[in-house]
Structure 1
Amino acid sequence: MTYLLTQLANGLSLGLILGLIAVGFVIVFTSTGVLNFAHGSVLLAGVYLVAVLHESLGFWFAALVGILGAALLAVLINAVLVRNLAESNPGTAAILMLGVDILLLTELTRRIGSDVKPLGAPWGADVVSVGGVTLPWSRAIAAAVALVVFGLLWYLFARTSAGVAMRAAAADGDTAALMGIRLSRTGAAGWALAGALAAVAGIFLASFPAPGVTPTLAVSAFAAIPAWVLGGFDSVVGAIVGGLVIGVVTALAVGYESELHFLGRGLGEVVPYAVMILVLLVRPSGLFGGKEAVRV
């Protein structure tokens, strides 16, 4: 029973991290209509900055630079490559994002090389035990940070003029523009927010289970895509719930892989996509998505 609770706790913490990434997918999609397949490389770029700068700046300041750097990179991608293309041809914009992802990942892989770059996170490999349930400090802190971030996002979208403007632009861009809302500004803000969320999540993904920054971190981030699709393309709440579902399912699949050996190795890497497919067969729009997940 204790082992099961430990796996569930790890799954929930992983799910909150995936939820941060999935929310970034949702924000970009609802604000500009783009399927941002370069999200994983933006995440890796932010974490790479932390790994490179932590010795000279200290971890916390380096983390701030990495988060801001990822936000700026996302804004540049939108401004230079996407902004004038997404509205007229979202399919081409999605393909463009695949190309951007490949280029960024290739350059970052060249810079990182074959070494594992330490992140310099102060929590290291320490663990915390409560009632027999053991959880790495990095995952416990990640869960706490994610909950705080989700609370701040709620406040942003529900209580601030900037957040209301972003919601209005996502709901009906033409009407929002007639009301004086600058769609280019809200789109840039959405991309910046998504990039920052990706970097925050990436810091914790690079802390556990294998501490350090490697190019495979960008691939790991794509586990958030099933969470995004599962929750619904256009639902922030759905992205969080989808992240929790995928995180728990993945943790249980990895934790009980020996008992499920007849399903083959690497079950934890496959099961998120299997769950996503099963849910979409029953509910094509996802658990919380609108019937038509498109920006009007």
Structure 2
Amino acid sequence: MNEFLGFLVNGLSLGAIYALIALGFVMIFKATSVMNFAHGSIVLLGAYVVGRTHDEVGFWWAALLGILAAAAAAALVDLIVLRHARGADLGTLAILTIGVDTLLSTELTREMGTAILDAGAPWGTSTVHLGGTSVPLSRLVAALVAVVVVAVLWAVFRFTHWGVRMRAAAEDGTTAALMGIRLGRVAAGAWAIAGVLAALAGVFLTSFPSPGISPAAGVTALAAVPAWVLGGFDSFPGAVVGGLVIGVVTALSAGYQEHLLFLGRDLAQVAPYAVMFLVLLVRPSGLFGSKEFARV
């Protein structure tokens, strides 16, 4: 029983990181209907900047630089690449983001080589004992940050003028534009915020128990795609629930791997997609997604 609780707690804490990444996917899809497959390389970029600069400026300033770099890169993807192809179909736009991901991840891989960078996080390898199990402090901090981020996003969308414009653009872009809302600014803001979320997730994704910052972090970040799809393409609560579900599934699959060898090795990598597939068979729009978005 203690073993199961340990896997569960660790899965929930991992799910908080996936939720941060999935929130970025939702932010962009809700504002522009674009499936942003460049998000993984933006996560890697934010973490890379932190890893390269923390020795000179300290972790907190490095984290700020990583957030700014990821936000700027994400906004530039919208301004330079996607805005000039806005009239294209959604499949073409998604392919463009795959191209951006390939270019950015290739350049970051060239810069990093085979080195594994230390994120320099102040929590180091510290763990916290909860209910007879040890949980990395980084995962608990990630869970706390995820809660704060969700609360802030809710407040922004509920009480700010930008949030109202964002909701209007997501509901009916044509009418919003006729009412004077600049859809381009809304889209650029959404991409920038998604970049901020990507950088935050990157810091925690590459902290202990991860070995550090390497090109593999970008691929690992894409493990949040099942969380995004499972929760619903355009649902912020769905991103959180999906992240927690996928985190638990991943942790349990890895923890009980030896008892499930008849299903094959590397089950933890396959199980999230299997769960996503089963849920979509019953609810094609995800657990909380809008049916209109699911049909696009």
Q: TM-score range by the shorter chain?
A: over 0.9
d(CA) in 1 for partners of 2:121, 2:250 = 25
Say if 2:263 is the partner of 1:263: yes
Match of 2:241 in 1: 241
When the two structures are superposed, what TM-score results if normalisation uses the length of structure 1? 0.97
Match of 1:2 in 2: 2
SS at match of 1:44: helix
SS at match of 2:34: coil
Match of 2:109 in 1: 109
d(CA) in 2 for partners of 1:68, 1:211 = 24
d(CA) in 2 for partners of 1:65, 1:9 = 31
SS at match of 2:17: helix
Say if 2:228 is the partner of 1:228: yes
CA pair 59-295 structure 1, distance change in 2 beyond 3 A: farther
d(CA) in 1 for partners of 2:253, 2:216 = 20
- The C-alpha deviation readout for 1:135-156, integer Å capped at 9, x for no partner, is 0011111111111111111111
Match of 1:89 in 2: 89
Say if 2:245 is the partner of 1:251: no
Counting only pairs closer than 5 Å after superposition, residues 1-296 of structure 1 correspond to structure 2 as 1-293=1-293
How far off is 1:87 after superposition?
3.9
SS at match of 1:129: strand
Write the letter of the residue equivalent to 2:186. Answer: T
SS at match of 1:144: helix
Q: Which moved more, 1:59-68 or 1:129-138?
A: 129-138
d(CA) in 1 for partners of 2:7, 2:73 = 35
Q: Which moved more, 1:245-254 or 1:286-295?
A: 286-295
How far off is 1:54 after superposition?
0.3
Contact 1:117 1:214 in 2 (8 A): yes
How far off is 1:295 after superposition?
10
Contact 2:285 2:294 in 1 (8 A): no
d(CA) in 2 for partners of 1:268, 1:220 = 12
d(CA) in 1 for partners of 2:111, 2:187 = 30
d(CA) in 2 for partners of 1:5, 1:237 = 24
- The C-alpha deviation readout for 1:142-183, integer Å capped at 9, x for no partner, is 111111111111111111111111111111111111222110
d(CA) in 2 for partners of 1:233, 1:16 = 18
How far off is 1:263 after superposition?
1.2
- The C-alpha deviation readout for 1:6-40, integer Å capped at 9, x for no partner, is 11111111111101111111111111121101000
When the two structures are superposed, what TM-score results if normalisation uses the length of structure 2? 0.97
d(CA) in 1 for partners of 2:67, 2:77 = 16
Contact 2:53 2:62 in 1 (8 A): yes
d(CA) in 1 for partners of 2:123, 2:152 = 24
How far off is 1:209 after superposition?
2.4
Contact 2:228 2:242 in 1 (8 A): yes
How far off is 1:88 after superposition?
3.3
How far off is 1:211 after superposition?
3.1
Contact 1:119 1:206 in 2 (8 A): yes
Contact 2:119 2:213 in 1 (8 A): yes
Contact 1:32 1:87 in 2 (8 A): no
d(CA) in 1 for partners of 2:219, 2:186 = 28
d(CA) in 1 for partners of 2:236, 2:148 = 15
d(CA) in 2 for partners of 1:290, 1:239 = 13
Gaps of 5+ in 2: none
- The C-alpha deviation readout for 1:209-246, integer Å capped at 9, x for no partner, is 22310000000001110011111111111111111110
d(CA) in 2 for partners of 1:123, 1:211 = 14
d(CA) in 2 for partners of 1:295, 1:275 = 20
Contact 1:29 1:234 in 2 (8 A): yes
Contact 1:33 1:295 in 2 (8 A): no
RMSD: 1.3
How far off is 1:5 after superposition?
1.1
Gaps of 5+ in 1: none
How far off is 1:290 after superposition?
1.2
SS at match of 1:214: coil
d(CA) in 2 for partners of 1:212, 1:48 = 10
The aligned length equals 296
